[in-house]
């Protein structure tokens, strides 16, 4: 489990593609404190550490994960949002995030809004109904509050601090973004489907 509070920006330094993919990510984390098999959310995707070096770790990414996320677009030199798994007693500053991406959203507008940046996203088919104004979403692993929703388009404001400690400063129209809907929204919608039946 994660909180959606990004604690490091890593860099993809090696990518090996077959049907699956292996990637090496350099990090500011003290890798001596990372266990083999540990879970680290990388751009919002819970990935298992398969190898560790002095300032890097490696992950194996299955074809299923590549199909459901934007990780298939990773290139060497790309920066990624990182978060280590939640420990008992850690502060829960964002919202509960599983690291299991539901789909890939698309950035459709980026607009300056004072010191903030307003970004609008198009939700993938079937997921828009889980997104509500003032609700939570995880986008590339970042816990964010939804400002508005109109059909399959929803908007989020990025404050200066968020842009400084994540990869969001470089967001552009057309970017593909890992979207994890709020777990509570999923269960509320499921309950509504059950009661309607």
Asked whether residue 97 is domain-assigned, the answer is no
How far does the chain reach from its first CA to its final CA, in angstroms? Answer: 32
Q: Are residues 77 and 107 in the same domain?
A: no
pTM for this predicted structure: 0.92
Strands 116-122 and 153-158: antiparallel
Number of compact structural domains in the chain = 2
Closest CA to 17 of 78, 49, 62: 62
Q: Are both 115 and 176 inside the same structural domain?
A: yes
* CATH number of the domain where residue 107 is located: 2.40.30.20
Which residues form the domain of 169? Answer: 103-196
In a domain, 95, yes or no: no
Domain termination residue (choose one: 26, 49, 84): 84
Instruction: Output the pLDDT for position 184.
Output: 72
Distance CA 107, CA 168 (A): 12
Going from the first residue of the chain to its last (197 residues), give the mean pLDDT of each consecutive group of 10, the final group possibly shorter: 93 95 98 96 97 98 95 96 83 79 97 95 93 94 96 97 96 98 71 57
Say how far apart CA 192 and CA 187 lie, in whole Å.
9
The pLDDT of residue 95: 78
């Amino acid at each position: 489990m994660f909180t959606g509070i990004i604690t490091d920006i890593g860099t993809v330094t090696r990518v090996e593609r077959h049907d699956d993919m292996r990637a090496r990510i350099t990090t500011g984390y003290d890798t001596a404190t990372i266990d083999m098999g540990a879970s680290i959310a990388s751009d919002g995707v819970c990935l298992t550490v398969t190898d560790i070096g002095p300032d890097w770790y490696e992950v194996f990414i299955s074809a299923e994960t590549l199909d459901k996320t934007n990780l298939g677009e990773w290139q060497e030199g790309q920066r990624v949002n990182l978060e280590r798994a939640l420990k008992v007693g850690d502060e829960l500053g964002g919202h509960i995030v599983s690291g299991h991406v539901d789909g890939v959203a698309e950035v459709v507008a980026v607009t300056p809004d004072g010191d903030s940046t307003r970004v609008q996203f198009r939700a993938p088919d079937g997921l828009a109904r889980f997104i509500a104004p003032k609700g939570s979403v995880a986008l590339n692993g970042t816990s964010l509050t939804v400002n508005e929703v109109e059909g399959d388009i929803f908007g989020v404001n990025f404050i200066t601090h968020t842009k400084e400690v994540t990869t969001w400063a470089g967001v552009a129209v057309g970017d593909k973004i890992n979207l994890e809907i709020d777990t509570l929204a999923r269960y509320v919608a499921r309950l509504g489907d059950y009661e309607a039946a």
